[in-house]
Structure 1
Protein backbone atom coordinates (compact mmCIF):
# COMPACT_ATOMS: atom_id res chain seq x y z
CA UNK A 1 0.00 0.00 0.00
CA UNK A 2 2.80 2.43 0.87
CA UNK A 3 4.59 1.69 -2.40
CA UNK A 4 1.36 2.35 -4.32
CA UNK A 5 0.88 5.65 -2.51
CA UNK A 6 4.41 6.72 -3.36
CA UNK A 7 3.92 5.82 -6.98
CA UNK A 8 0.76 7.92 -7.21
CA UNK A 9 2.48 10.81 -5.44
CA UNK A 10 5.37 10.75 -7.88
CA UNK A 11 3.02 10.67 -10.84
CA UNK A 12 1.25 13.72 -9.50
CA UNK A 13 4.52 15.52 -8.85
CA UNK A 14 6.01 14.69 -12.21
CA UNK A 15 2.90 15.46 -14.24
CA UNK A 16 2.25 14.20 -17.75
CA UNK A 17 4.19 16.69 -19.82
CA UNK A 18 7.56 16.56 -21.50
CA UNK A 19 10.74 18.39 -20.48
CA UNK A 20 10.11 21.99 -19.51
CA UNK A 21 12.07 24.93 -20.91
CA UNK A 22 14.58 26.65 -18.65
CA UNK A 23 12.84 29.31 -16.54
CA UNK A 24 13.69 32.84 -17.59
CA UNK A 25 16.27 34.79 -15.63
CA UNK A 26 15.22 36.88 -12.67
CA UNK A 27 17.24 40.11 -12.75
CA UNK A 28 16.92 42.66 -9.92
CA UNK A 29 16.33 46.22 -11.07
CA UNK A 30 17.31 47.76 -7.73
CA UNK A 31 19.40 46.67 -4.73
CA UNK A 32 20.98 43.90 -6.76
CA UNK A 33 24.19 43.94 -4.71
CA UNK A 34 23.55 40.61 -2.99
CA UNK A 35 25.50 37.38 -3.22
CA UNK A 36 23.03 34.51 -3.28
CA UNK A 37 19.40 33.46 -3.31
CA UNK A 38 17.84 30.92 -0.98
CA UNK A 39 15.19 28.68 -2.50
CA UNK A 40 13.06 27.63 0.46
CA UNK A 41 10.93 24.55 -0.13
CA UNK A 42 8.57 23.11 2.46
CA UNK A 43 8.07 19.47 3.35
CA UNK A 44 4.35 20.05 3.53
CA UNK A 45 3.21 17.36 6.03
CA UNK A 46 5.87 18.51 8.50
CA UNK A 47 5.48 22.24 7.87
CA UNK A 48 1.71 22.08 8.33
CA UNK A 49 1.98 20.09 11.57
CA UNK A 50 4.36 22.46 13.36
CA UNK A 51 4.04 25.95 14.77
CA UNK A 52 0.85 27.70 13.67
CA UNK A 53 0.45 25.14 10.90
CA UNK A 54 -1.66 25.57 7.77
CA UNK A 55 -5.28 26.56 7.29
CA UNK A 56 -8.11 24.06 6.88
CA UNK A 57 -8.21 24.28 3.08
CA UNK A 58 -4.59 23.15 2.72
CA UNK A 59 -4.18 20.69 -0.16
CA UNK A 60 -2.73 17.27 0.73
CA UNK A 61 -1.78 16.36 -2.83
CA UNK A 62 1.81 17.56 -2.75
CA UNK A 63 4.59 16.48 -0.39
CA UNK A 64 6.87 19.40 -1.24
CA UNK A 65 5.73 23.00 -1.42
CA UNK A 66 7.18 26.42 -2.12
CA UNK A 67 7.98 28.79 0.74
CA UNK A 68 9.89 31.43 -1.18
CA UNK A 69 12.93 32.77 -2.99
CA UNK A 70 15.02 34.98 -0.73
CA UNK A 71 17.86 37.28 -1.68
CA UNK A 72 20.75 37.51 0.79
CA UNK A 73 21.45 40.80 2.52
CA UNK A 74 22.42 43.55 0.02
CA UNK A 75 25.89 44.98 0.53
CA UNK A 76 24.41 48.47 0.94
CA UNK A 77 22.77 47.31 4.17
CA UNK A 78 25.93 45.55 5.31
CA UNK A 79 27.77 48.86 4.82
CA UNK A 80 25.32 50.41 7.30
CA UNK A 81 26.23 47.68 9.82
CA UNK A 82 22.75 46.19 9.72
CA UNK A 83 23.06 42.64 11.09
CA UNK A 84 22.01 39.84 8.78
CA UNK A 85 19.55 38.66 11.43
CA UNK A 86 17.66 41.94 11.06
CA UNK A 87 17.57 41.46 7.27
CA UNK A 88 16.10 38.00 7.86
CA UNK A 89 13.40 39.50 10.11
CA UNK A 90 12.48 42.63 8.14
CA UNK A 91 13.62 42.09 4.56
CA UNK A 92 12.40 44.72 2.12
CA UNK A 93 10.90 46.72 4.97
CA UNK A 94 14.42 48.06 5.61
CA UNK A 95 14.18 49.99 2.34
CA UNK A 96 10.86 51.71 2.95
CA UNK A 97 7.24 51.35 4.02
CA UNK A 98 5.38 48.10 3.49
CA UNK A 99 4.25 47.60 -0.09
CA UNK A 100 0.88 46.52 -1.47
CA UNK A 101 0.17 42.83 -2.14
CA UNK A 102 1.22 41.54 -5.57
CA UNK A 103 -1.13 41.70 -8.54
CA UNK A 104 -1.18 38.24 -10.15
CA UNK A 105 -3.36 36.63 -12.79
CA UNK A 106 -5.71 33.77 -11.99
CA UNK A 107 -3.43 31.13 -13.51
CA UNK A 108 -0.52 32.10 -11.25
CA UNK A 109 -2.77 32.35 -8.21
CA UNK A 110 -4.05 28.85 -8.94
CA UNK A 111 -0.50 27.51 -9.27
CA UNK A 112 0.61 29.13 -6.03
CA UNK A 113 -2.53 27.91 -4.29
CA UNK A 114 -1.56 24.37 -5.21
CA UNK A 115 2.08 24.50 -4.15
CA UNK A 116 2.41 27.08 -1.35
CA UNK A 117 1.39 26.40 2.24
CA UNK A 118 -1.94 27.97 3.08
CA UNK A 119 -1.32 30.30 6.00
CA UNK A 120 -3.12 33.19 7.64
CA UNK A 121 -2.18 35.88 6.77
CA UNK A 122 -1.40 34.99 3.16
CA UNK A 123 2.07 33.56 2.53
CA UNK A 124 1.91 34.84 -1.07
CA UNK A 125 1.49 38.44 0.10
CA UNK A 126 4.16 38.00 2.79
CA UNK A 127 6.75 36.64 0.39
CA UNK A 128 6.26 39.47 -2.09
CA UNK A 129 6.27 42.26 0.49
CA UNK A 130 9.29 40.92 2.39
CA UNK A 131 11.43 39.31 -0.32
CA UNK A 132 10.40 40.61 -3.74
CA UNK A 133 9.16 44.16 -4.00
CA UNK A 134 12.36 46.03 -3.09
CA UNK A 135 14.31 44.44 -5.95
CA UNK A 136 12.10 45.94 -8.64
CA UNK A 137 10.89 42.57 -9.87
CA UNK A 138 7.70 42.10 -11.81
CA UNK A 139 5.67 40.04 -9.31
CA UNK A 140 4.49 37.72 -12.08
CA UNK A 141 8.09 36.91 -13.03
CA UNK A 142 9.17 36.63 -9.39
CA UNK A 143 6.59 33.96 -8.60
CA UNK A 144 6.94 32.29 -12.00
CA UNK A 145 10.65 31.82 -11.32
CA UNK A 146 10.11 30.49 -7.81
CA UNK A 147 7.39 28.09 -8.94
CA UNK A 148 9.52 26.86 -11.86
CA UNK A 149 12.38 26.05 -9.47
CA UNK A 150 9.93 24.19 -7.25
CA UNK A 151 8.66 22.23 -10.23
CA UNK A 152 12.19 21.27 -11.24
CA UNK A 153 12.85 19.91 -7.77
CA UNK A 154 9.68 17.80 -7.79
CA UNK A 155 10.95 16.09 -10.97
CA UNK A 156 14.40 15.36 -9.55
CA UNK A 157 15.95 12.18 -8.09
CA UNK A 158 16.08 13.99 -4.75
CA UNK A 159 12.30 14.26 -4.72
CA UNK A 160 11.92 10.56 -5.45
CA UNK A 161 14.42 9.72 -2.70
CA UNK A 162 12.41 11.68 -0.13
CA UNK A 163 9.00 10.50 -1.33
CA UNK A 164 10.04 6.86 -0.99
CA UNK A 165 10.91 7.50 2.68
CA UNK A 166 7.81 9.51 3.62
CA UNK A 167 6.31 8.25 6.86
CA UNK A 168 9.62 7.05 8.34
CA UNK A 169 12.48 8.38 10.41
CA UNK A 170 15.48 9.36 8.29
CA UNK A 171 19.14 10.09 8.91
CA UNK A 172 20.36 13.64 8.40
CA UNK A 173 23.65 12.52 6.86
CA UNK A 174 21.91 10.09 4.51
CA UNK A 175 19.80 12.88 2.99
CA UNK A 176 22.76 15.20 2.48
CA UNK A 177 24.90 12.39 1.10
CA UNK A 178 22.26 11.47 -1.47
CA UNK A 179 21.81 15.13 -2.41
CA UNK A 180 25.53 15.50 -3.10
CA UNK A 181 25.77 12.30 -5.12
CA UNK A 182 22.60 13.01 -7.12
CA UNK A 183 23.42 16.63 -7.97
CA UNK A 184 27.21 16.78 -7.84
CA UNK A 185 26.94 19.75 -5.47
CA UNK A 186 30.26 20.53 -3.76
CA UNK A 187 29.56 23.49 -1.39
CA UNK A 188 29.02 22.06 2.11
CA UNK A 189 25.98 24.26 2.81
CA UNK A 190 24.38 24.11 -0.63
CA UNK A 191 21.43 22.40 1.09
CA UNK A 192 20.41 23.01 4.67
CA UNK A 193 17.58 21.17 6.41
CA UNK A 194 15.16 22.76 8.83
CA UNK A 195 13.28 20.88 11.52
CA UNK A 196 10.64 21.77 14.12
CA UNK A 197 8.64 19.97 16.78
CA UNK A 198 5.22 18.92 15.54
CA UNK A 199 2.00 19.02 17.56
CA UNK A 200 2.68 15.45 18.77
CA UNK A 201 6.11 16.38 20.14
CA UNK A 202 8.19 14.75 17.38
CA UNK A 203 11.09 16.40 15.55
CA UNK A 204 10.01 16.63 11.89
CA UNK A 205 11.48 17.97 8.67
CA UNK A 206 9.73 21.20 7.72
CA UNK A 207 11.93 22.85 5.07
CA UNK A 208 14.80 22.43 2.62
CA UNK A 209 16.89 25.54 1.96
CA UNK A 210 19.05 25.63 -1.18
CA UNK A 211 21.76 28.29 -1.58
CA UNK A 212 21.77 29.32 -5.24
CA UNK A 213 23.86 31.48 -7.52
CA UNK A 214 21.62 34.30 -8.80
CA UNK A 215 23.16 34.09 -12.28
CA UNK A 216 22.89 30.29 -12.60
CA UNK A 217 19.52 29.41 -11.12
CA UNK A 218 18.49 28.12 -14.55
CA UNK A 219 20.83 25.16 -13.89
CA UNK A 220 18.99 24.07 -10.73
CA UNK A 221 19.07 21.35 -9.49
CA UNK A 222 22.37 20.78 -11.30
CA UNK A 223 25.74 21.21 -9.60
CA UNK A 224 26.55 24.60 -11.13
CA UNK A 225 23.61 26.32 -9.48
CA UNK A 226 24.84 26.10 -5.88
CA UNK A 227 26.88 28.27 -3.55
CA UNK A 228 28.00 27.73 0.04
CA UNK A 229 25.77 29.57 2.49
CA UNK A 230 27.83 31.93 4.68
CA UNK A 231 25.60 31.09 7.66
CA UNK A 232 24.98 27.69 9.19
CA UNK A 233 21.18 27.43 9.45
CA UNK A 234 20.69 23.66 9.36
CA UNK A 235 19.07 22.72 12.68
CA UNK A 236 17.96 19.11 12.14
CA UNK A 237 19.28 16.41 14.50
CA UNK A 238 20.94 13.16 13.43
CA UNK A 239 17.54 11.50 12.89
CA UNK A 240 14.05 12.98 12.45
CA UNK A 241 10.62 12.20 11.06
CA UNK A 242 9.85 12.65 7.39
CA UNK A 243 6.10 12.88 7.76
CA UNK A 244 3.51 11.89 5.19
CA UNK A 245 -0.06 13.08 4.83
Structure 2
Protein backbone atom coordinates (compact mmCIF):
# COMPACT_ATOMS: atom_id res chain seq x y z
CA UNK A 1 0.00 0.00 0.00
CA UNK A 2 1.39 3.43 -0.90
CA UNK A 3 2.06 5.60 2.14
CA UNK A 4 0.72 9.14 1.96
CA UNK A 5 2.94 10.38 4.80
CA UNK A 6 6.36 12.01 4.41
CA UNK A 7 8.71 9.63 6.24
CA UNK A 8 10.99 12.15 7.91
CA UNK A 9 9.16 15.47 8.07
CA UNK A 10 5.63 16.71 8.20
CA UNK A 11 4.44 20.26 7.79
CA UNK A 12 1.55 21.18 10.00
CA UNK A 13 -1.46 23.05 8.71
CA UNK A 14 -3.03 25.45 11.19
CA UNK A 15 -6.73 25.71 11.79
CA UNK A 16 -8.05 29.09 10.80
CA UNK A 17 -10.10 30.90 13.38
CA UNK A 18 -9.05 28.75 16.34
CA UNK A 19 -10.24 30.24 19.60
CA UNK A 20 -6.96 29.49 21.39
CA UNK A 21 -3.28 29.77 20.55
CA UNK A 22 -1.68 26.86 18.77
CA UNK A 23 0.92 24.79 20.58
CA UNK A 24 4.62 25.17 19.82
CA UNK A 25 6.09 22.52 22.12
CA UNK A 26 4.98 18.88 22.21
CA UNK A 27 5.76 15.53 23.75
CA UNK A 28 5.67 12.61 21.35
CA UNK A 29 4.89 9.63 23.60
CA UNK A 30 5.81 6.30 22.01
CA UNK A 31 4.78 3.10 23.76
CA UNK A 32 6.34 -0.32 23.80
CA UNK A 33 2.98 -2.09 23.92
CA UNK A 34 4.20 -5.41 25.39
CA UNK A 35 5.88 -3.43 28.17
CA UNK A 36 2.71 -1.49 28.88
CA UNK A 37 0.70 -4.71 28.97
CA UNK A 38 3.22 -6.33 31.34
CA UNK A 39 2.55 -3.61 33.91
CA UNK A 40 -1.21 -4.21 34.05
CA UNK A 41 -2.73 -6.25 36.85
CA UNK A 42 -5.31 -7.58 34.40
CA UNK A 43 -3.87 -7.24 30.88
CA UNK A 44 -6.85 -9.12 29.43
CA UNK A 45 -8.91 -6.01 30.18
CA UNK A 46 -7.13 -4.23 27.33
CA UNK A 47 -7.90 -5.62 23.86
CA UNK A 48 -4.53 -4.45 22.54
CA UNK A 49 -2.84 -6.74 25.08
CA UNK A 50 -4.39 -9.88 23.60
CA UNK A 51 -2.13 -12.00 21.36
CA UNK A 52 -1.80 -10.21 18.05
CA UNK A 53 0.40 -9.80 15.00
CA UNK A 54 4.02 -10.21 16.11
CA UNK A 55 5.22 -7.52 13.71
CA UNK A 56 2.98 -4.96 15.42
CA UNK A 57 4.24 -5.94 18.86
CA UNK A 58 7.84 -5.51 17.69
CA UNK A 59 7.33 -1.83 16.84
CA UNK A 60 7.02 1.35 18.84
CA UNK A 61 3.42 2.49 18.92
CA UNK A 62 1.72 5.84 19.29
CA UNK A 63 0.65 6.69 22.81
CA UNK A 64 0.00 10.36 22.17
CA UNK A 65 1.16 13.77 20.99
CA UNK A 66 0.80 16.18 23.88
CA UNK A 67 0.93 19.97 23.56
CA UNK A 68 2.92 21.65 26.29
CA UNK A 69 3.15 22.91 28.97
CA UNK A 70 2.02 19.95 31.01
CA UNK A 71 -1.54 20.46 32.16
CA UNK A 72 -2.67 22.05 28.90
CA UNK A 73 -5.66 19.83 28.27
CA UNK A 74 -9.38 19.68 27.43
CA UNK A 75 -9.49 22.90 25.39
CA UNK A 76 -13.05 23.99 24.56
CA UNK A 77 -14.30 20.59 25.79
CA UNK A 78 -17.58 20.34 27.71
CA UNK A 79 -17.67 19.33 31.37
CA UNK A 80 -19.72 16.30 30.36
CA UNK A 81 -17.05 15.04 27.95
CA UNK A 82 -14.30 15.68 30.49
CA UNK A 83 -16.19 13.62 33.08
CA UNK A 84 -16.73 10.81 30.57
CA UNK A 85 -13.06 10.87 29.62
CA UNK A 86 -12.00 10.59 33.26
CA UNK A 87 -14.32 7.66 33.91
CA UNK A 88 -12.96 4.11 33.66
CA UNK A 89 -12.85 3.15 30.01
CA UNK A 90 -13.38 5.37 26.99
CA UNK A 91 -16.17 3.47 25.22
CA UNK A 92 -18.62 6.28 25.92
CA UNK A 93 -16.52 8.95 24.22
CA UNK A 94 -17.52 10.09 20.71
CA UNK A 95 -15.37 8.90 17.79
CA UNK A 96 -12.57 11.18 16.66
CA UNK A 97 -14.11 13.49 14.01
CA UNK A 98 -11.85 12.42 11.14
CA UNK A 99 -12.78 13.55 7.64
CA UNK A 100 -10.28 11.36 5.76
CA UNK A 101 -11.36 7.70 6.02
CA UNK A 102 -7.81 6.52 5.23
CA UNK A 103 -6.63 7.94 8.52
CA UNK A 104 -8.66 5.42 10.52
CA UNK A 105 -6.71 2.47 9.14
CA UNK A 106 -3.38 4.31 9.34
CA UNK A 107 -4.07 5.22 12.96
CA UNK A 108 -4.97 1.63 13.90
CA UNK A 109 -1.66 0.48 12.40
CA UNK A 110 0.46 2.72 14.66
CA UNK A 111 -1.79 2.85 17.74
CA UNK A 112 -2.88 -0.57 19.03
CA UNK A 113 -4.73 1.29 21.79
CA UNK A 114 -7.41 2.19 19.25
CA UNK A 115 -8.91 -1.14 20.36
CA UNK A 116 -9.51 0.51 23.75
CA UNK A 117 -10.50 3.86 22.19
CA UNK A 118 -7.22 5.48 23.22
CA UNK A 119 -7.53 7.65 20.10
CA UNK A 120 -10.75 9.17 21.45
CA UNK A 121 -9.10 9.98 24.78
CA UNK A 122 -6.02 11.50 23.12
CA UNK A 123 -8.11 13.74 20.89
CA UNK A 124 -10.43 14.92 23.68
CA UNK A 125 -7.67 15.59 26.20
CA UNK A 126 -4.71 16.64 24.06
CA UNK A 127 -5.63 17.11 20.41
CA UNK A 128 -8.18 19.80 21.20
CA UNK A 129 -5.36 21.98 22.58
CA UNK A 130 -3.18 21.97 19.46
CA UNK A 131 -5.13 24.47 17.38
CA UNK A 132 -5.48 21.84 14.62
CA UNK A 133 -8.42 19.86 13.33
CA UNK A 134 -8.60 16.14 14.08
CA UNK A 135 -7.17 15.08 10.71
CA UNK A 136 -4.10 17.29 11.10
CA UNK A 137 -3.54 16.13 14.65
CA UNK A 138 -3.75 12.43 13.88
CA UNK A 139 -1.91 12.68 10.54
CA UNK A 140 0.94 14.45 12.32
CA UNK A 141 1.11 11.91 15.15
CA UNK A 142 1.01 9.01 12.67
CA UNK A 143 3.83 10.45 10.55
CA UNK A 144 6.04 11.09 13.58
CA UNK A 145 5.50 7.52 14.76
CA UNK A 146 6.36 6.16 11.32
CA UNK A 147 9.59 8.15 11.43
CA UNK A 148 10.44 6.71 14.86
CA UNK A 149 9.92 3.20 13.49
CA UNK A 150 12.63 3.76 10.87
CA UNK A 151 15.43 4.40 13.39
CA UNK A 152 18.32 2.55 14.98
CA UNK A 153 16.51 3.01 18.28
CA UNK A 154 13.58 1.00 17.00
CA UNK A 155 15.86 -1.74 15.68
CA UNK A 156 17.67 -1.94 19.02
CA UNK A 157 14.42 -2.29 20.99
CA UNK A 158 13.00 -4.85 18.58
CA UNK A 159 16.21 -6.90 18.73
CA UNK A 160 16.06 -6.86 22.55
CA UNK A 161 12.47 -8.11 22.71
CA UNK A 162 12.22 -11.01 25.14
CA UNK A 163 15.45 -9.94 26.84
CA UNK A 164 16.82 -6.67 28.26
CA UNK A 165 18.42 -3.46 27.04
CA UNK A 166 20.22 -0.79 29.05
CA UNK A 167 19.27 2.85 29.02
CA UNK A 168 22.91 3.54 28.10
CA UNK A 169 22.47 1.49 24.92
CA UNK A 170 19.24 3.34 24.19
CA UNK A 171 21.07 6.65 24.65
CA UNK A 172 23.70 5.62 22.11
CA UNK A 173 21.09 4.61 19.57
CA UNK A 174 19.11 7.82 20.08
CA UNK A 175 22.27 9.90 19.67
CA UNK A 176 23.03 8.07 16.43
CA UNK A 177 19.51 8.87 15.21
CA UNK A 178 19.11 12.46 16.42
CA UNK A 179 22.45 13.78 17.67
CA UNK A 180 23.59 14.59 21.22
CA UNK A 181 20.75 17.04 21.78
CA UNK A 182 18.37 14.13 22.26
CA UNK A 183 19.83 13.48 25.71
CA UNK A 184 18.24 16.76 26.86
CA UNK A 185 15.02 16.26 24.94
CA UNK A 186 13.88 12.75 25.79
CA UNK A 187 12.90 10.57 28.72
CA UNK A 188 11.97 6.96 29.39
CA UNK A 189 8.93 5.76 31.29
CA UNK A 190 9.98 2.67 33.20
CA UNK A 191 7.67 0.74 35.54
CA UNK A 192 8.74 -1.89 38.06
CA UNK A 193 6.76 -5.12 38.12
CA UNK A 194 6.98 -8.34 40.09
CA UNK A 195 8.12 -9.04 43.62
CA UNK A 196 11.31 -10.04 45.34
CA UNK A 197 13.90 -11.59 43.07
CA UNK A 198 11.41 -11.45 40.19
CA UNK A 199 11.05 -7.68 40.40
CA UNK A 200 12.27 -5.95 37.24
CA UNK A 201 12.25 -2.60 35.51
CA UNK A 202 10.16 -2.71 32.33
CA UNK A 203 10.41 -0.34 29.38
CA UNK A 204 6.99 1.24 28.80
CA UNK A 205 7.37 4.56 26.95
CA UNK A 206 9.93 6.61 25.07
CA UNK A 207 9.01 10.30 25.19
CA UNK A 208 10.61 12.85 22.88
CA UNK A 209 10.14 16.60 23.37
CA UNK A 210 9.73 18.53 20.13
CA UNK A 211 9.45 22.18 19.16
CA UNK A 212 7.69 23.77 16.20
CA UNK A 213 9.70 26.90 15.43
CA UNK A 214 7.14 28.03 12.88
CA UNK A 215 8.15 25.93 9.88
CA UNK A 216 6.39 22.78 11.04
CA UNK A 217 7.05 19.81 13.27
CA UNK A 218 9.33 16.87 12.48
CA UNK A 219 11.14 14.13 14.33
CA UNK A 220 14.72 15.25 13.72
CA UNK A 221 17.57 17.04 15.47
CA UNK A 222 16.40 20.48 14.32
CA UNK A 223 13.10 20.14 16.16
CA UNK A 224 14.27 18.81 19.51
CA UNK A 225 13.14 20.88 22.50
CA UNK A 226 16.52 20.67 24.22
CA UNK A 227 16.41 21.31 27.95
CA UNK A 228 12.85 20.06 28.29
CA UNK A 229 13.91 16.66 29.66
CA UNK A 230 16.93 14.69 30.77
CA UNK A 231 17.66 11.14 29.66
CA UNK A 232 19.47 9.01 32.24
CA UNK A 233 22.07 6.79 30.56
CA UNK A 234 22.85 3.97 32.99
CA UNK A 235 23.86 0.30 32.81
CA UNK A 236 20.62 -0.75 34.52
CA UNK A 237 18.95 -3.50 32.48
CA UNK A 238 15.42 -2.74 31.31
CA UNK A 239 13.17 -5.64 30.45
CA UNK A 240 11.75 -5.59 26.92
CA UNK A 241 8.80 -8.06 27.00
**Could you tell me how far apart the structure 1 residues matched to 2:145 and 2:61 are?**
7
User: 1:77 maps to what in 2?
Assistant: none
Q: 1:30 to 1:166 in 2, by over 3 A?
A: farther
Any conservation in 2 of the 1:185–1:224 contact (CA below 8 Å)? Answer: no
1:31 aligns with 2:26: no
The reply on whether 1:242 has 2:240 as its aligned counterpart is yes
Find the aligned partners of 2:147 and 2:164 in 1 and give their Cα distance: 25
How far apart are residue 39 of structure 1 and its match?
A: 0.4
Output the CA distance in 1 between the equivalents of 2:135 and 2:3: 22
User: Would the alpha carbon gap of residues 115 and 187 (structure 1) be closer, same or farther in structure 2, given more than 3 Å must change?
Assistant: closer
Distance 1:95 1:228 in 2: 31
In structure 2, the partner of 1:202 is 200
Contact 1:44 1:64 in 2 (8 A): yes
Does the aligned pair in 1 maintain the 2:153–2:177 contact within 8 Å?
yes
**CA distance in 2: counterparts of 1:17 and 1:135, whole angstroms:** 24
Once residues 35 and 24 of structure 2 are traced to their aligned partners in structure 1, the CA distance between those partners, rounded to angstroms, is 30
Instruction: Show the counterpart of 2:150.
Output: 155
TM-score (norm 2): 0.73
The worse-fitting range, judged by mean Cα deviation, of 203-212 and 93-102 is 93-102
Provide the TM-score with structure 1 as the length reference.
Answer: 0.72
1:102 matched to which residue of 2? 96
Unmatched 5+ stretches in structure 2: 83-93
State how far apart, in whole Å, the 2-side matches of 1:19 and 1:129 are.
24
Q: Distance in 2 between matches of 1:162 and 1:238?
A: 15
Q: Which deviates more, 98-107 or 185-194?
A: 98-107
User: Residues 6-85 of structure 1 correspond to what in structure 2 (within 5 A)?
Assistant: 20=6, 22-27=9-14, 29-32=18-21, 34-51=23-40, 53=43, 54-55=46-47, 56=50, 59-62=53-56, 63-73=59-69, 84=70
Question: Partners in 1 of 2:14 and 2:204 — Cα distance?
Answer: 29
Distance 2:193 2:206 in 1: 16
Where 2:28 maps in the other structure, the secondary structure is: strand
Mapped partners of 2:236, 2:156: distance in 1 = 18
Name the CA distance, whole Å, in 2 between partners of 1:20 and 1:33.
Answer: 22
| Aligned residue pairs, count | 214
Greater CA drift, 63-72 or 180-189: 180-189
The separation in 1 between residues aligned to 2:162 and 2:65, in whole angstroms, is: 27
**CA shift in 2, pair 1:176/1:217, >3 Å:** farther
Q: 2: distance between equivalents of 1:175 and 1:232?
A: 13
5+ residue gaps in structure 1? 1-14, 74-83
142-151 or 194-203: which moved more? 194-203
- Give 1:178 deviation, angstroms: 2.4
